[in-house]
Chains A and B, each alone.
Chain A
Amino acid sequence: MTTPSPATQLLRPDPKRRLALALSVLGAALLVVAAGALLVGSASVSPRAILSVLLGGKPEGIEAVVVLNLRLPRILVAALAGGALAVAGVAFQALTRNPLADPAILGVASGAAFGVVLAQLFGLGATVVAALGLAAFAFAGALVAAGLVYLIAATDGRLPIQTLLLTGVIVGLFFSSAITVVISVVDFNRLGGVIHWLLGNLGPISGGSLAVFAALSAVGLWLVLGRARQLNLLALGEESAIQLGVDAERLKRRIFVGASLLTSSVVAFAGPIGFIGLIVPHMLRGLLGPDNRLLIPAALLAGGVFLLLADTLARTLVAPAELSVGVITAFCGAPFFVYVLRARYRAIP
């Protein structure tokens, strides 16, 4: 028995059966984790009461409020945000041909966060129109940050790994300090609240915001998933991709916009949460191989599973207080980053 080389794996015909298998396993995992998240919390609600609320049996009372207005929206936000971040990670990694690219490490999340803080200064908050405005500010911030990183790091059309990572860190730091400056100048009293938000905290958001979040994530997913096959060809090198008929520049622009849109909508509606775009795609590559047609839909589900698990831990570890979920993902993610860096680049002097 021979293992196929990565190149033949990438060019294999439609991997429908493996995709169906991966998606059904991950989908089942997401359901199990979501059911677990629905069961635990500070308010004691019995599993039977939760079931009856979900089936529409108890429209009033504490159980209904806890399940329908608090836990369920939070689960949806976590699953969506985790999925969007993981897909954004796959996209940035394919775009830069670099497994360490991640929305947070590239500084894109910080750019989006700066946009959100600006939008909040203008009083954009809870209504649907305001949610769109918030997302627009975040998207603009993400595009500016990603564009800056790209322009600074690109040398002769290539993105050397060290330069890319350093540029991402620098651009991220720049936008973080820009946030601090804005808050210190405008309203120092709000600094505590903004720092709390910057740590990454999931909370129940309004139905309108959730709808806007879902719609924007769907557009971002479509932009990335629709070019999964071309991304596989890009992995062979830009020249080979062009020879195989890929319009590399157009492809890169589309992926760039899609990944920025995914990142910025997460930042706008769930706050900046790091490292999911790094951990989840890397684990999936180990299991499924490098085919983006498999990776992208699998990342959508697996990212949801991961963030939902992290958020449930955040809610329960120090109950009745809550940890910031961003702290938990960073706690797992930072060592993971070091591991990937060491394992992959040990050979390079």
Chain B
Amino acid sequence: MRRLGIAVAFLLLLVEPAGAFRLTDSRGRELILPGPPQRIVSLVPSVTEIVYALGGEGRLVGVTDFCDWPPEATNKPRVGGMLAPNLELLVALRADLVVATTEGNRQETFDQLRRLKIPVFIVNAQRVAEVMAVIAQLGELTGRQAAVGPLTDSLMRRIKAVERAVKPYPRPKVLYVLWPEPLIVPGRLGLLTELIELAGGASVTAGEPDAHPRFSLEAVAARAPEVIILARHGADRTPLSRAPWERLTTLPAVRAGRIHSVDGSYLHRYGPRVVDGLELLARMIHPKAFR
């Protein structure tokens, strides 16, 4: 019996090189590498944030032009934008793994990387639970498994604290504006819809199909939001124009003066700062709960 076991183990060794690294990505595809990746390029700002939060930046050799958090990340070599990363630089950086996402990167890039024999690991998160899963995956990839538990525990604790604080209050109807023209809102599949829920609000666009559907102003008026939250984007930190919204004086949110704006980099990325974003949202939706 024991001999059989040794034979099986030996066969397994033949099939797979010793120390092979296996991990399943968010699309359910198994990544198999000869060993743990040592030179990772991140094509996703959220991924860059998570890798730094885990202390795994030692294995990060390249980031995108949009990876601006934490500030140290801007010192890493840049490989261009998310749509068209510079393939020559990826090769020159001797990347042994590229972490990318289906939301923001292009299929053409994945095809080109496959031809260059650079493995790609796809992440995607549309639920808080998936954010935690991505943190765990990146912990595996960067050899920082030990940091995963403490990070996710503290994030979950803070989420629970927000939930407890807003629990006694009724849920106001919230309109979150991802993009004003054309009007784009978080839909059923969007991470933001869940965050608004956790922050004690009821997103008026929670029933829309898709993650980021387009929406019409008339439909907004019909749903009478009580709080409107306008997102700011990227490096543009100037406040969004409230004027177009303030003209809609019949909306409860406008009459009550409850139009807020928030820095989208907290809420549109799924790094650890998403919980900072959740706390901001909760304060806007339930100012009384946080007095």
A positions within 8 Å CB-CB of B:
41-44, 62, 65-66, 69-71, 125-126, 184, 188-189, 192-193, 196-197, 201, 203-204, 206, 319-322
Contact = CB atoms under 8 A, between A and B. Distances in A.
A70 B87 contact: yes
Nearest to B107: A125
B7 interface: no
B210 interface: yes
Interface centre among B81, B91, B211 (most CB of A within 10 A): B91
B86 A204 contact: no
Contacts of B165: none
Contacts of A42: 86, 88-89, 92
Nearest to A207: B115
B65 interface: yes
A160 to B, nearest CB: 39
B242 interface: no
A43 B79 CA distance: 11
B167 interface: no
Contacts of B83: 192-193, 196
A320 B86 contact: yes
B184 interface: yes
B65 A321 contact: yes
Mostly helix, strand, loop or mixed at chain B's interface?
Answer: loop
B108 interface: yes
A142 to B, nearest CB: 21
B80 interface: yes
Interface in B206-228: 210-214
The 8 A-B residue pairs with the shortest CB-CB distance in the complex, in nearest-first order: A43-B92, A43-B88, A193-B106, A42-B88, A126-B111, A196-B83, A42-B89, A320-B86
B84 interface: yes
Nearest to B92: A43
Given A125-B111, A188-B210, A206-B111, A65 B116 contact: yes
B94 A196 contact: no
B273 interface: no
Given A69-B91, A192-B83, A203-B84, 6 more contacts: A42-B86, A42-B89, A62-B92, A66-B91, A69-B115, A203-B87
A313 B194 CA distance: 46
B113 to A, nearest CB: 11
A150 to B, nearest CB: 33
B173 interface: no
A225 to B, nearest CB: 32
30 contacts: A41-B88, A42-B86, A42-B88, A43-B89, A44-B92, A62-B91, A62-B94, A66-B88, A69-B115, A70-B88, A70-B91, A70-B116, A71-B88, A125-B111, A184-B214, A188-B210, A188-B212, A188-B213, A189-B103, A189-B211, A193-B106, A196-B83, A196-B84, A197-B108, A203-B84, A203-B87, A203-B112, A320-B86, A322-B84, A322-B86
Contact of B87 (A126, A184, A201, A204): A204
B84 A65 contact: no
Contact of A69 (B79, B116, B213, B214): B116
Contacts of A321: 65, 80-81, 86
B78 interface: yes
Contacts of A319: 86
Interface in B31-79: 65, 78-79
A42 B84 CA distance: 14
Nearest to B105: A193
A121 to B, nearest CB: 12
Contacts of B103: 189
A320 B112 contact: no
A184 B107 CA distance: 18
Contacts of B94: 62
- Kindly name the residue among B104, B115, B212 whose own CB sees the greatest number of chain A CB atoms within 10 A: B115
Nearest to B106: A193
A113 to B, nearest CB: 15
Contacts of B84: 196, 201, 203, 322
Contacts of B108: 193, 197, 203
Chain B CB within 10 A, most for which of A65, A206, A319: A65
A126 B112 CA distance: 9
Nearest to B111: A126
B123 to A, nearest CB: 15
A65 B112 CA distance: 12
B87 A320 contact: no
A203 B113 CA distance: 12
B244 to A, nearest CB: 21
B268 to A, nearest CB: 13
A188 B91 contact: no
A268 to B, nearest CB: 13
B126 to A, nearest CB: 12
Contacts of A125: 107, 111
A203 B109 CA distance: 10
Interface string B172-214: 0000000000001000000000000000000000000011111
Contact of A65 (B91, B111, B184, B212): B91
Contacts of B104: 189, 192
A47 B84 CA distance: 26
B184 A320 contact: no
Nearest to B214: A188
Contacts of B211: 189
A188 B210 CA distance: 9
B115 A206 contact: yes
Contact of B112 (A44, A193, A204): A204
Given A188-B210, A188-B213, A321-B81, A204 B89 contact: no
